[in-house]
Amino acid sequence: MDKLTILLPALPLLSAVLVALLSGGSHRRVARTSIILSALTLLLAVSALALYLRDARPMQVSFGGDWGSLYLDPLSCIMALAVAGISLVVHVYSARYMAEESGYARFYVLLDLMAAAILLMVTAGDLITLLVAWHLIGVLLYFLLSHDTRRAATQRYAFWTFFTYRLGDLPLIFAAVLLYHAYGTLSLPLLFEHITATPDVHAVFGMPLMTMVGLLIVLSAFARSAQFPLHTWLPYTMEGPTPVSALMHAGIVNAGGFIINRFAPVFVNAGDVLHLVFAVGLVTAILGSVLMLTQNDIKKSLGYSTMGQMGFMFVECGVGAFSLAIYHLIAHGLFKGTLFLGAGDVIGDARKDDGVPHDDVYTFLVERRPVASRLPWVVAAAITVVVPLAVLGVSHWLVGGNFVGQQGAIILLFFGWVTGAQLLFATYRLRAESPWRVMTMIILSLVVVVAGYTVIEHAFDLFLYANRTLREHIYAAASIPIATFESLVAILTVAIVVGWLAVYYTNASGDHGNDRPSALRLAFYSLISREFYVADVYAWLTQMVLGLSERLNVWSRWV
């Protein structure tokens, strides 16, 4: 077990060294060497997870001294497996994709070093090792994004990412300093034991230590995971190679969710910070989802989609569902990595055939020809409101039982209810020839997806946080006063139900208003097309700082 722990980050590092030595050889030899060692890394990650499942005992390996240790627990095992798997897929894809690019061996060296840095981060057993890996990921990402040195835009946005990451490093460094000063240890397992035993032994600027540390950690996570308003770097990194985009959106951007889970004992005593995480995540999810729908560049659209998904991940952390955030992180990484690796084929097909064949699918989805029969709008509205709620409620009750008493679970069910209702409403508007059959198939699909999602999430919860007390304390920290919570749930439920009924009635009556867009809609579209002017504000601040520095420079000549 000790050797497996050490080899997890060591194998990709060895691969980088071997590829560098083979840099003068053929592309095939370089790619083959890197892919073979990536496959061995994946086998090691699988073995480490299997051994942990057998022994159910965390393992810490130290290289001597106060720092330089690795730690295998449920979180690091599952994250190492996900990272190694995605890294292998990206390595295989890059063999042909980067064949015509200059710096082929250099790209593979950077790819191996990135895999080693991420594995070092997820298995770090002390604060120093964690900070070193956290910093190295940002540096290596800069070199990967700026791989094409001929394009000015590539260099510009790579530096933009590098600058944002460096800003995000500072809060985590301050948090580590505060924790070491308070408890006198760098070891993460010992640190978490001390935090659990004495969480409020110190205060910083009149604020409880855990609240300050938790705030610093989430600020670092906000920058790393593109949370509003530190999100602008993410959609503009599409200038980098597609394999880098796949690896970044499948693993690197998700680091914010990992770091919050790693310091879970801190947030047991930092409920106000979790409320901030929920608010920022909610805003990010909404903005990312809206901006995704208005892009005409497929990779940029995927970038904003990642931003929205990262927002949902932080919402899950904000309500105390830490294990669900890890499941979301892994599922999104696999899904989004696949989309990025397939984006080139989609673009190529669109260039070859810019028309859409008028087959049955096109007629059904796009033309939406009227049909002879249609579900009554009252019945469809009732199904939309009741069925998703029943499916979600029953599935969570079967695996959890007491979810009604957890505010976080109620909030997540609320989001799931709205999403399921939107799906059924979209089905209603398709005007299928057999509306009852289509609605039945959609409901059955919803049952399968929700049941599977719920069972897997519950299994993740038991695996990552076997300590039931810790789970309950995290949910309790994320809670708000019960009267306020119930009032908000009641108000939002009534508003959404009335809204759905109004939408169904308007759609059924055919009263869509004037086809000419209103001034309000045009203003909203302008706001979205300018991406809420966040990038413009940053550009203005940049020009202001440059102008001020120029004036200071001129003034200093006279001193």
Phi, psi (deg, nearest 5) at residue 126: -150, 170
- What DSSP designation does 364 have? I
| Three-state SS annotation for 188-239 | HHHHHHHHHHCCCCCEECCEEHHHHHHHHHHHHHHHHCCCCCCCCCCHHHHH
Phi, psi (deg, nearest 5) at residue 356: -110, 125
DSSP string, 418-448: HHHHHHHHHHHHT--SSHHHHHHHHHHHHHH
Residue 56 to residues 120, 163, 457: CA-CA distances in angstroms? 21, 41, 19
Residue with tokens 């599977």: 452
Flag whether pLDDT at 131 surpasses 90.
Answer: yes
Instruction: Using the CB atoms, write b or e for 183-194: b if 16+ within 10 Å.
Output: bebbbbeebbeb
Flag whether pLDDT at 401 surpasses 60.
Answer: no
Higher pLDDT, 50 or 449: 50
Phi, psi (deg, nearest 5) at residue 369: -65, 140
Tell me the C-alpha distance between 543 and 173, whole Å. 29
Average pLDDT of the segment spanning 273-299: 85
Tell me the C-alpha distance between 45 and 532, whole Å. 42
* Amino acid (1-letter code) at residue 450: V
pLDDT single digits (tens) 371-388: 445 566 666 667 766 766
Tell me the C-alpha distance between 449 and 279, whole Å. 27
pLDDT at residue 48 in the model: 86
Whether residue 199 has a cis bond before it, omega within 30° of 0: no
In 3D, which of 71, 69, 50, 240 has the Cα closest to residue 145?
A: 240
- If you average pLDDT over each of 329-338, 406-415, 480-489, which comes out highest? 329-338
pLDDT at residue 372 in the model: 44
Flag whether pLDDT at 173 surpasses 90.
Answer: yes
Average pLDDT of the segment spanning 90-98: 86
pLDDT at residue 404 in the model: 45
Higher pLDDT, 543 or 499: 543
Average pLDDT of the segment spanning 535-551: 84
The 10 Å Cβ neighbour count of residue 370 is: 7
In 3D, which of 401, 259, 112, 92 has the Cα closest to residue 267?
A: 259
Tell me the C-alpha distance between 371 and 303, whole Å. 38
Flag whether pLDDT at 94 surpasses 90.
Answer: no
The 10 Å Cβ neighbour count of residue 425 is: 17
Higher pLDDT, 209 or 22: 209
The 10 Å Cβ neighbour count of residue 455 is: 13
Percentage of the chain with pLDDT > 90? Answer: 10
Tell me the C-alpha distance between 61 and 189, whole Å. 12
- What DSSP designation does 69 have? E
Higher pLDDT, 313 or 25: 313
Q: What is the pTM of this model?
A: 0.81
Flag whether pLDDT at 144 surpasses 80.
Answer: yes
Phi, psi (deg, nearest 5) at residue 234: -65, -50
Q: In which band, very low, low, confident or very high, does the pLDDT at 324 lie, cut at 50, 70 and 90?
A: confident
Average pLDDT of the segment spanning 460-469: 81
Residue 283 to residues 47, 56, 185, 371, 538: CA-CA distances in angstroms? 40, 39, 37, 39, 19
Higher pLDDT, 261 or 320: 261
The 10 Å Cβ neighbour count of residue 211 is: 20
Dihedral sign for Cα 24, 25, 26, 30, please: negative
